[in-house]
Amino acid sequence: RRRLRIRRAHLDDLPDVVRIENASFSSPWSEQSLREELSGRLGSHFFVAEVEGRLAGYIGTWMFAGEAHICTIAVDPQYRRGGLGEILMLTMLQQAREYGNPYAILEYRVSNYGAAALYAKLGFEYLHRRRGYYQDTNEDAIIVAIPDLEAPSQIERLQEAYDRWLERHDYELCLEV
């Protein structure tokens, strides 16, 4: 079994986060923006996933005023389709609930069908479409949310997703969040 460690990000992770960011997005965040997120800016929660000691993905969320805005998530291309995005989302949603943020929201490109399927599976509900949101391509964004992470049905859904994830993936999971 491979070791998967999810932990809080720190500045030493910046080169790998920038590498994954640039490989993942047509209009990536700047190194300076990522540096600010990794520096522990108030309200910013940034986790990384390491597989056998190699940084393989990350997720960033802004938590404030009862809301968890998942602002970025990416997985290194060589680790995609292996469940890392899902376990990062599940970990962050659990943390949002523990920090007293029962409302989760995010946006994604209308063409990102993989993201759409994952978010629907986790209980995100369609809110609206922002026309021309992504400036690089003028592509629309889909805005989705989980309105109540504390609802018993949502807690059960996320626990079942977590349990299924553990059954499907051959990782020794270590959470240090």
Q: Which positions are annotated as active-site residues?
A: 107, 119
Q: Give the pair of three-digit tokens for residue 45.
A: 């929660």
17-53 in b/e form (b: 16+ CB < 10 A) is: bbebbeebeeebbeeeebeebbeeeeebbbbbbbbee
What value, to the nearest 5°, has the Cα angle with vertex 27 and ends 131 and 20? 130
The answer to whether 69 and 20 are in contact (CB under 8 A) is no
Q: Which amino acid is at 30?
A: S
From the centroid of its chain, how far is CA 173?
17
Count of C-beta atoms within a 10 Å radius of residue 54: 11
